[in-house]
């Protein structure tokens, strides 16, 4: 499907630094050294409700990864999916007496608008689960032929025991895996499975639910993890640079995806690095569609909030920490935006060459966006206190803030 329009990324003098980032699978910092074309897969939305600040924070983190890579003069091959058929989407449509395809299309359209307004760079390939089905079916058939998948009452499950490296993404113990599996879309209680953790690859058609021709699998619909594997393998291949998402995807989603792909291809790794953003909460609880404690990007935009201020509010928190959304954070971001805009609106100013390097250094250091904001704050404060005579400085700051932080001044 189509994605959304790209905002221009201004070129900056000199070159950026290689990104050092926390990798979930090793628990360590890794300096990423992709080839001339960096490859990244970021898990997309399940479109049954509007984009909330938690989603926006996660996509902001991976937008920064791209911007750091672009600043090192690499191209970026970015792929994102849309889980446009899955249980929560069908359940929500049923509750509201809505058509599930209309719901998915409406919420995906709103997501595109939100991403455009926030200046998130679009993926090169934006792929829906439904359109990926013809590519998913042969993968499930191959897993079955390899003895890594089995049938249970018409449904097809993946056997986690078929992957000797299962567990290497999240490094959780069996009990933690079991709890998270139950919480996040798995069915550890279903009897007849080889291991309680085994995830579904193909769900046989249920009455009243949409289903597709699955060839030798029979009619049905795809499981969640195989969806992202099929799309990533099709558009990026094995060994791509980064798989990203919120920390709630480390297990089971990214663990299972890595296992599926590794068993399918006999190669490792699926992604070279697994990067996870922290969870954004509201009133002490993780913001989630199922709990309903949400602040929507589109609602703020409707209230007249400048999307650049929303983006600055996201940047004020480190991507890896869990944090709480507050109205105060948005007010601080609006004030910061005003200060920065006043500082760049002057015809000349304090030299900004060192500032560009400070922003680059902060982002290369595990995407330390709060440190990058602090550096711009210092420049803006000095600019309004004493000024300067560098005619290129305000323009350079605008371009750097746009190129590296996605904020249009």
Q: How far apart are CA 255 and CA 205, in angstroms?
A: 26
In eight-state DSSP terms, residue 7 is P
- Contact partner, 246, from ligand 5CA, Zn ion, none, Cβ < 5-8 Å per class: ligand 5CA
The correct pick among 229, 287, 300, 373 for binding ligand 5CA (CB under 6 A) is: 287
Per the listing, tokens 């969870």 go with 279
Instruction: Tell me the per-residue interface mask from 229 to 248 with ligand 5CA, x by CB under 6 A, - otherwise.
Output: ----------------xx-x
Q: How far is the CB of 291 from ligand 5CA (least distance, A)?
A: 9
Give buried/exposed letters for 159-198 (b at 16+ CB in 10 A, else e).
bbebbeebbbbbebeeeebbebbeeebbebeeeebebbbb
Q: What is the four-CA torsion angle of 282, 285, 288, 290, rounded to 10 degrees?
A: -130
Provide, rounded to whole angstroms, the least separation between the CB of residue 23 and ligand 5CA.
17
45 binding partner (options ligand 5CA, Zn ion, none; Cβ < 5 to 8 Å by kind): ligand 5CA
Is 276 known to sit in a ligand binding site? no
Residue 227 CA to residue 206 CA, distance in Å, equals 19
Indicate whether 252 belongs to the interface with ligand 5CA (CB under 6 A). Answer: no
Q: Is 83 annotated as a binding residue?
A: yes
404, 68 contact by CB (below 8 A): yes
Site membership for ligand 5CA, residue 308 (CB under 6 A): no
Candidate residues 12, 32, 50, 57; the one interacting with ligand 5CA per rule CB under 6 A: 57
End-to-end C-alpha distance for the chain, whole angstroms? 31
The annotation status of 45 as a binding-site residue, yes or no, is yes
389 is in an annotated binding site: no
d(CA 26, CA 168): 8
409 binds ligand 5CA, rule: CB under 6 A: no
| Candidate list 79, 279, 344, 356; residue touching ligand 5CA; CB under 6 A | 279
- Work out whether the CA dihedral 155, 47, 139, 187 comes out positive or negative: negative
Q: Is 228 annotated as a binding residue?
A: yes
The phi-psi region of residue 68 (left if phi > 0; otherwise alpha if psi is between -120 and 50; otherwise beta) is alpha
* Shortest Cβ 126–ligand 5CA spacing (Å): 13
| Binding residues vs ligand 5CA (CB under 6 A) | 43-46, 54-55, 57-58, 81, 83, 228, 245-246, 248-249, 277, 279-280, 286-288
- Residues comprising the binding site? 43-46, 58, 81-83, 224, 228, 246-248, 253, 280
């Amino acid at each position: 499907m189509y994605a959304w329009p790209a905002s221009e990324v201004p070129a900056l003098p000199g070159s950026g630094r290689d990104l050092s980032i926390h990798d979930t699978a090793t628990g360590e910092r890794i300096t990423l050294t992709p080839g001339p074309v960096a490859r990244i897969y970021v898990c997309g939305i399940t479109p049954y409700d509007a984009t909330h600040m938690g989603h926006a924070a996660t996509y902001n983190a991976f937008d920064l990864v791209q911007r750091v890579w672009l600043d090192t003069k690499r191209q970026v091959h970015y792929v994102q999916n849309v889980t446009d058929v899955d249980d929560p989407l069908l359940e929500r449509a049923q509750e509201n007496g809505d058509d599930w395809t209309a719901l998915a299309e409406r919420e995906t359209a709103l997501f595109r608008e939100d991403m455009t307004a926030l200046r998130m760079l679009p993926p090169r390939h934006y792929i829906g689960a439904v359109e990926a089905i013809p590519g998913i079916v042969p993968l499930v058939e191959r897993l079955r032929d390899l003895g890594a998948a089995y049938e249970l009452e018409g449904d097809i499950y993946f056997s986690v025991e078929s992957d000797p490296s299962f567990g290497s993404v999240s490094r959780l113990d069996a009990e933690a895996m079991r709890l998270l599996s139950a919480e996040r879309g798995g069915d550890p209680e279903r009897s007849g499975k080889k291991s309680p953790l085994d995830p579904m690859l193909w769900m046989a058609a249920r009455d009243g639910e949409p289903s597709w021709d699955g060839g030798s699998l029979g009619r049905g619909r795809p499981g969640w993890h195989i969806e992202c594997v099929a799309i990533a393998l099709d558009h990026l291949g094995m060994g791509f640079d980064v798989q990203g998402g919120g920390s709630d995807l480390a297990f089971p989603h990214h663990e299972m995806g890595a296992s599926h792909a590794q068993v399918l291809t006999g190669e490792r790794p699926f992604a070279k690095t697994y990067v996870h953003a922290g969870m954004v909460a509201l009133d002490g609880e993780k913001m989630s569609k199922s709990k309903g404690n949400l602040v929507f990007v589109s609602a703020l935009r409707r209230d007249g909030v400048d999307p650049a201020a929303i983006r600055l509010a996201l940047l004020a928190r480190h991507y890896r920490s869990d944090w709480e959304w507050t109205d105060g954070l948005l007010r601080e971001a609006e004030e910061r935006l005003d200060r920065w805009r006043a500082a760049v609106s002057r015809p000349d100013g304090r030299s900004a060459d060192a500032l560009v390097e400070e922003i680059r250094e902060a982002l290369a250091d595990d995407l330390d966006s709060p440190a990058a904001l602090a550096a711009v704050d210092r420049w803006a404060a000095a600019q309004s206190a004493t000024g300067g005579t560098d005619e290129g400085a305000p323009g350079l700051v605008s371009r750097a803030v746009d190129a590296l932080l996605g904020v249009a001044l």
